[in-house]
Structure 1
Amino acid sequence: MTETAQRTALVELADVSKHYGSVRALEGVSLEVHAGQITCVLGDNGAGKSTLIKTIAGLHRHDGGTLSIEGEETRLSSPREALDRGIATVYQDLAVVPLMPVWRNFFLGSEPRKGVGPFKRLDIGLMRRTTREALLRMGIDLRDVDQPIGTLSGGERQCVAIARAVHFGAKVLVLDEPTAALGVKQSGVVLKYVAAARDEGLGVVLITHNPHHAYLVGDRFVLLRRGTMVGNYTRDEITLDELTQQMAGGSDLDALRHELQRS
């Protein structure tokens, strides 16, 4: 067992369940998130990925099982509490203000100020420098941090969000389908910075429906189907072909193929 695996998980879910009335959104889901590792959660629409994100991010409280942060069992009451505990979530729709410059979006809600009393004002110079330095540290070289963030490509906006989480001290980074709406080249750029966040020592949860993207960077793989966990593997326990087969439905796909064959 590696030194990383021996350490206490940054986040651990054990048999977690979540119900909305009679609807079972999650049932008996377990996963571990370790520093310097990427845990990929895979599943089709309706598999429970969104509910899992909201549970880890503090939006929804789980009904059953346990959620532990650095070995301490807890029940998160809000996204702010999750953020204070080091869990940063980047959603697919990205909470940015398109017409504001990159540096302003980078510090949105956490703007440093200078001066005192009625002369207190935003420290724009510091924000510009810090944004540029934080992006360069992650290997992101933007032409101009003064440009509106809405002029960036989808992949570039995802990368800025990742760099922001790293800069503000996140220990765990949860990424909601960061490559879903991107082409091959832009997806590759985002995965590069997901790996950079891992190399910075963060524990990453990558939510995706693409097994090829997951296998490029993943250390652990959790497969969800209709709210239940149908697989939980480390990288050396499953091949890309096996992961793709399970993601595609496994035995269900074989049964469908047989049913659709011409007689």
Structure 2
Amino acid sequence: MTSALVEMKNIHKWFGKVHALMGVDFSVNPSEIVGLVGDNGAGKSTLIKILTGVLSKNEGEIYFNGNKIKFSSPREARDNGIETIYQEQALADDLSVTRNLFMGKELQKSIGPIKLLDHKKMKKESENILSGLGLSISSMDQETRFCSGGERQGIAIARAMYFKAKLVILDEPTRALGVAGVRRVLELVKELKSRGIASIFITHNLHHVYPVADRFVILVRGKKVGDSLKKDTSVDKLTELMIKR
């Protein structure tokens, strides 16, 4: 048993002869914001894909909520309270804001023995969720292709909150966003914490993650080279670890 929400121990992953992860230990505590930082090829995405059932590990153990687990798919991870938000794949562009918020978990109503989608309730719930997070989107019926990058991230995060995720993984959430979009995403990450939801903020941009993270884990070429609380480090110190060879 462990008090951590997530604990990954001695994780190894090979792709053929490439040793992509070399005995990595990684943990997340309840309500904690962990910045998982490293350049491209550091192993960040591989580690998260192992946690969420996209990839299998070659060695190591994974615990979630104190229980040893091995998710077989992202759907299984999601059903257990782990929501992953990818920058490019967070939403379905051709669906409305409401349909994206409830995708795969649509609300239903019964008319006799027949169950139908409750579009009216989903629309009302969508308005309440987003307004509660300070997101002003003109219509819940508009396709999300017309939303800004920051709004899209907000919709995906709102979905995780509504369905009571225990852990939200954000994969490069501020990439390609302008200043206003970055600010909005950082506010939403802090909102996750205030609601008791832990998060993993994956990025190579320390200046974006530093203001909100409680702790930083640095990966370099498949190895963990740093694991520090914010009070014990700085952007400069973390940068030095990132460029370590």
TM-score, normalised by the number of residues in structure 1 = 0.88
In 1, the alpha carbon distance for the partners of 2:152 and 2:177 equals 11
Corresponding residue to 1:156 among 148, 151, 156: 151
Match of 1:62 in 2: 57
- Match 1:174 to one of 156, 169, 175: 169
Decide which of 122, 134, 143 is 2:138's aligned counterpart.
143
Q: How many residues align?
A: 244
What CA distance in whole angstroms lies between the structure 1 residues aligned with 2:154 and 2:4?
Answer: 25
Partner of 1:107: 102
Q: Measure, in 1, the Cα distance between the counterparts of 2:117 and 2:10.
A: 46
2:126 and 2:51 map into 1 onto residues whose CA distance is: 27
Deviations 1:94-120 (A, max 9, x none): 242222210011111111122346753
Q: Which amino acid aligns with 2:141?
A: D
Deviation at 1:11, TM superposition (A): 0.7
Mapped pair 1:31 → 2:30 = no
For residue 120 of structure 2, the aligned residue among 117, 121, 125 is 125
Unaligned runs of 5+ in 2: none
Give the fraction of aligned pairs with identical amino acids, expressed as a percent: 43
Q: Deviations over 1:138-161 (max 9, x none)?
A: 232322212111100111101110
State the secondary structure of the residue aligned to 2:210: helix
2:232 is matched with 237
**TM norm structure 2:** 0.94
- Considering only CA atoms, is the larger Rg found in Structure 1 or Structure 2? 1
- Structure 1 letter corresponding to 2:188: Y
**Equivalent residue, structure 2, for 1:192:** 187
Following superposition of structure 1 onto structure 2, how do residues 183-262 of structure 1 map, counting pairs within 5 Å? 183-247=178-242, 249-250=243-244
**From 41, 54, 59, the counterpart of 1:46:** 41
Question: CA offsets per residue over residues 52-95 of structure 1, 9 Å max, x none?
Answer: 12112111122212110011122221112211221111112124
After TM superposition, which residue ranges in structure 1, 4 or more long, deviate above 6 angstroms? none
Q: How far did 1:136 drift?
A: 2.2
Q: Retained in 2: the 8 A contact 1:98–1:148?
A: yes
Alignment of 1:6-21 (within 5 A): 8-21=3-16
Question: Which deviates more from structure 2 when the two are superposed, residues 202-211 or residues 143-152?
Answer: 143-152
How far apart, CA to CA, are the structure 1 residues paired with 2:239 and 2:220?
14
User: SS at the partner of 2:55?
Assistant: coil
Q: Is the helix fraction higher in 1 or 2?
A: 1
Q: Which residue of 2 aligns with 1:76?
A: 71
Aligned Cα root-mean-square deviation (Å): 1.6
Counterpart residue number, 1:97 = 92
Q: Aligned AA for 1:166?
A: M
- Cα separation, partners in 2 of 1:74 and 1:119, compared to 1, 3 Å: closer
Q: Give the partner amino acid of 1:15.
A: N
